[in-house]
Amino acid sequence: MQMGSEIQADDQIIWMHCASLGEFEQGRPVIEALKQRYPAYKIMLTFFSPSGYEIRKNYENADYVYYLPADTPANVKKFIGIARPKIAIFVKYEYWYHYIRTLSCKGVPVFMVSAVFRKNQHFFKWYGKWFLNQLKKIEWFFLQQARDKELLADYGIRNTSVSGDTRFDRVWNIREEQKGIPLVEKFVQHKKVFLAGSSWLPDEKIVRAFMAKEPKDFKYIIAPHQVHGDHIKEIVNLFGVEKVARFSAMDDKKVNAVKVLVIDSIGILSMLYRYANYALIGGGFGVGIHNILEASAFGVPVFFGPNYKKFEEAKDLIRLGGAFEIAGPEALTAKMNAFESNPEAYKQCREIAQVYVRDKQGATNRILHKLSAYLGG
């Protein structure tokens, strides 16, 4: 086990485990706050999924980054024996029986951050008593929603608090950083920008159909969820080779000549929303929508397909008027035309989105306040 040769005997470890990249983004504000407030501790970050580990294996705010070994008694004994964490923080959904049991037996408190529960989960089924008992080994649950606090209380779990969603802190911090991308600024040229973020092919086809009809001189940024070569070629062919530049190959000579910029690299999408006037967030016609908060933090009206029902922020923003479900290109075109002909409505939508994100900050500070009792101040 690689960690055996890296972790030192006198290291004081704070361990955070995230299933994948999405959970990492929820845990990230907590890691960065812990790193700043408790510099004497080492941060150990683990992932279950390659999509998290491969992208964040060199994350600068973690001292150690590993895959989480399979949840077997032998693996867990060895892993915990080497790491000897002071506390363990699992993000959102991660309940590994042997890890939680071993940590509990050793007196290592386990915290759940940005936890979410639903009445139909196996914990709360007639056959779920064994699973429910595992939850009772958790030291504290930091919940996103008040209704989850009530649900857990119904089953005898009261070591909970409603901290909110740490993603709001993260996206607002990105907004405040004011980091620009010079080549993108030259591409935009002060024109209006329609951005497809974390898009899949059905989303990209809708953008292409809108592009064929839009009367304004928009620029388009396509930042697909999958950046492998085949899909990038598919996007280039969809929009027309002569109209498209790839971000990795763009230079000052090409930037003025194209209408569509395809982002064929990972890690910059959150910074791109500062250039957008409108955004279509991918996943709504398939696996479920991706992160809409990054766009909303910049006051960008967002559109997405019908698969958003599990995402509270999407439902909230639709209700408030800061986000919009679309069934296809006709609905997108109609809404875009309405905004373009009514600048006041567009301005109001931007304010709704931005205020929504701004007013939901604070989860990280609430979590740190609780953790301080276990970390010495």
Do the first three CATH levels of 3-164+362-375 and 178-358 match, i.e. the same topology? Answer: yes
Residues 264-269: contacts with CB under 8 Å, at least 24 apart = 264/227, 264/232, 265/227, 266/55, 266/227, 267/55, 268/181, 268/223, 269/197, 269/198, 269/223, 269/294
Q: What CATH number does the domain located at 3-164+362-375 have?
A: 3.40.50.11720
Strand pairing partners for 224?
199
HSE (side-chain half, CA atoms, 13 Å) at 296: 30
309: tokens are 């029902």
Q: Which CATH number fits domain 178-358: 3.40.50.12280, 3.40.50.2000, 3.40.470.10, 2.170.150.20?
A: 3.40.50.2000
Report d(CA 279, CA 193) in Å as an integer: 9
Torsion angle of the four alpha carbons 352, 358, 360, 361, in this order, in degrees rounded to the nearest 10: 170
Domain ranges of the chain: 3-164+362-375, 178-358
From first to last of its 377 residues, what are the pLDDT tens digits of the chain?
578 789 988 999 999 999 888 889 899 999 999 999 999 999 999 999 887 888 898 999 999 999 999 999 999 999 999 999 999 999 988 888 899 999 999 999 999 999 988 888 888 888 878 888 888 999 999 999 999 999 999 999 999 999 999 999 999 999 998 788 889 999 998 899 999 999 999 999 999 999 988 767 899 999 999 888 899 999 999 998 888 889 988 877 777 788 999 999 888 899 999 999 999 999 999 989 999 999 999 999 999 999 999 899 999 999 999 999 999 999 999 999 999 999 999 999 999 999 999 999 999 999 999 999 999 86
Report d(CA 53, CA 195) in Å as an integer: 27
